[in-house]
Amino acid sequence: MIGTASEMLLFFAYRKETAAILGVTLERLRGIRTRVSNHNYSEEALVEMLEKLECKCIRPKYILPAVVKDKEGRIFTEQTFARTFFTQEFAEKWGVNYNRIMATLKRGMYMNKPLLKHLLRSKRAWIIEDRVELDSVWSYEPIETVMSDAKIVDVRRMLQIP
């Protein structure tokens, strides 16, 4: 079975065995179900619970940056645009720490939206495509521990092993 982190945890939240694996009561498991349905869990919390449930991560969460177009028609990602046009003078004008913002951008993180919008407006640029978050994808493949002779023959026949 394959699904996003929220889908997988929601599936497991409806199974009674999950409470014992996670070490929670059935009432707490219902609370987990509600929080997952409302998307109130961080990605780290979802990952921790899914790893306890022996799920495998196929693809981690990925964030696609916004696409920005300036007045000259050049296209940038929001990070490269911010690193290119964010200056010490702009930081002083808006009362933010220049070094902190540049360190954040160099670490691959994003500038906060209001400050980015001010920077876009000052350089006469706009966002073509907004930032998109792709959820992590998980797989759950339970391994059957009891393999009878009939099951082994069926598996070999499917794999065409003589």
80 in helix, strand or coil? helix
Give the start-to-end residue ranges of the domains of the chain. 2-61+135-159, 62-133
| 9/27 Cα distance (integer angstroms) | 16
For each successive 10 residues of the chain (162 residues), what is the average pLDDT?
92 91 92 92 92 92 93 94 94 93 92 93 94 92 69 76 58
Strands annotated E in 70-144: 75-77, 126-129, 132-134, 137-139
Cβ neighbours of 160 (radius 10 Å) = 6
Strands annotated E in 5-49: none
Question: What does pTM read for this prediction?
Answer: 0.68
